[in-house]
Amino acid sequence: MAAYKPDQGRMARMAVFWAVAALIFYGCKSLRETLSGLSPSLAAPFSEGFRKLPVVGVELTPAFLIASVCFIGGLIVAKRIQDQPKKADLLIETETELRKVTWPSAQEVFNSSLVVVVCVVVLMAFLAGADWLLARVTNNILGIGG
């Protein structure tokens, strides 16, 4: 099955695919650990002579193989879903709109962040002062403490 409009929206499609791939990887890693904890037979290597895969250093166990099959299947399903016309058009339109955005410079980001931090500190000081003052007034009215 060919990709829908493969020459359009490449960056958005790639970003979405790799984000979903990372989530699938995390889920399959958790699945492997769960399966290894459920049964000793799923955590035991297939043979004593060939315990670890040479490049990645992971033990070749049934739990690892099940998680690997789920990972590959998840990637295939994710790619097929992403290539559906409705979803592909959304990603194409998203990338098109993002290309129209004028991004702020580093100096503009710094200045805006500084304004936000100063406003938060001023508001924090005002609220702390108001809280202290109202606590003193309330304590004096109720006759608690000095």
Phi/psi-derived region of residue 5, left when phi > 0, alpha when psi is between -120 and 50, beta in every other case: left
Percentage above 70 pLDDT, the chain: 98
Instruction: Kindly report whether the global pTM for this prediction surpasses the value 0.75.
Output: no
Res 114 pLDDT > 90: yes
For range 110-121, the mean pLDDT: 98
Res 145 pLDDT > 90: no
Res 73 pLDDT > 90: yes
Res 8 pLDDT > 90: no
Helix or strand or coil: residue 145?
Answer: coil
Percentage above 90 pLDDT, the chain: 69
